Amino acid sequence: MEVNEQKAPQVNEEKLHEFLVKMVTEMGAAAVGPLILIGDRLGLYKALDDYGPAGSKALADATGTGERYMREWLAAMAASGYITYEPETELYSLSPEQSMVFSNPNSPVLMTGAYYAISSMYHDEEIMEKAFKSGEGVAWGDHHSCLFCGTEKFFRPSYSTNLVQNWLPSLDGVVEKLKRGAKVADVGCGHGASTMIMAEAFPNSTFIGYDFHKGSVDHAAAEAKKSGLKNISFEVGAAQDFPGEEYDLVAFFDCLHDMGDPVGACKHVVQALKPDGTCLMVEPFANDTLAENLNPVGRAFYSFSTLLCVPSSLSQYVGLALGAQAGEKRLRDVAIQGGFKRFRRATETPFNLILEARP
């Protein structure tokens, strides 16, 4: 009997080298994550903005940290390309672009918040391994607490820059209603960043934030109390049955795809809206096919989706599990199945689709 021996595939040394370089780059990106959190918490990036160009001792003195740790942290940041190093002077600084990503609290592209959420994903590795094996979901509230503050810190800069200035004006007639006085529900509001931004901008309108995670609702209510806003409240409520009717606007900010029954949520919104009301859906940017999403944005969102969005949906009701890269076509199908008659892409950013649905 002849044995058909398979030859080992021929390895292309050049391609292997390229792939190893890529993996070392990825390894460095994963390892530097905790250092980004430390830099954010201890104000190291802010110190670079305030005192740079500066050396490790000056920055350590300014931040009350150990010089040796500061020196190594600066080296890691410089090797990552996250800060600027001048070999001639041995001083460090942040360029205007680096400052926008790491230090400027008013920047629309401040990225440090994402690393708090990423930290929670590493904490939750064990429960996610069990979920992979069982196929069961993991509820949003069962994740590590870093997720909740991280989600707010990541999304707030974009909401602060775009929501009132660009997204609401892209909707048909909504800003005029909000200026006069409208009734608004922010469903899946989390820590309430989006709700408070709208409430502050439109004092004649009333805003109610709903979320099924009580811890987030309690946090949002406390923050609203601190802010002194009188036209806002927060309640525990699910998307399929939150209370109230005759809403002028119902909004879903980066959460519809997380829901187990997004069609049911849309059905309830159609009933809760005024006949001329509007539903705003802000969703992660995605094209309609996997091939079109094989890019850096898709890579990040598919990763978050695997560990956060899909598990959340599978833990609820129907468990449709749209995922964070659902795309406009699937979201349109969900809205139409839910009873909306009109649906359009109102505007977009590199990270978000802003969708309008109307009865």
Give yes or no for residue 144 having a pLDDT over 70. Answer: yes
CA distance 194 to 160: 8
- pLDDT for 267-321, tens place per residue? 999 999 999 999 999 999 999 999 999 999 999 999 999 999 999 999 998 889 9
pLDDT higher than threshold 60 for residue 143:
yes
Residue 156: band (very low, low, confident or very high) from pLDDT cuts 50, 70, 90: confident
Q: Provide mean pLDDT across the span 58-62.
A: 97
Select from 274, 286, 265, 288 the least CA-distant residue to 335. Answer: 265
Instruction: Name the CATH code of domain 127-358 (choices 3.90.1150.10, 3.90.550.10, 3.90.45.10, 3.40.50.150).
Output: 3.40.50.150
**pLDDT band, very low/low/confident/very high, at 79 (cuts 50, 70, 90):** very high
**192 pLDDT above the threshold of 90:** yes
Q: Would you say residue 8 has pLDDT above 90?
A: no
Fold of the CATH domain 25-100: Arc Repressor Mutant, subunit A (1.10.10)
- Portion of the chain with pLDDT greater than 70, in percent: 98
How far apart CA 336 and CA 358 sit, in angstroms, is 10
pLDDT in tens, 162-171: 999 999 999 9
CA distances to 104, 285, 299 from 295, in Å:
27, 12, 6
Topology agreement, domain 25-100 and domain 127-358? no
Domain boundaries, the chain: 25-100, 127-358
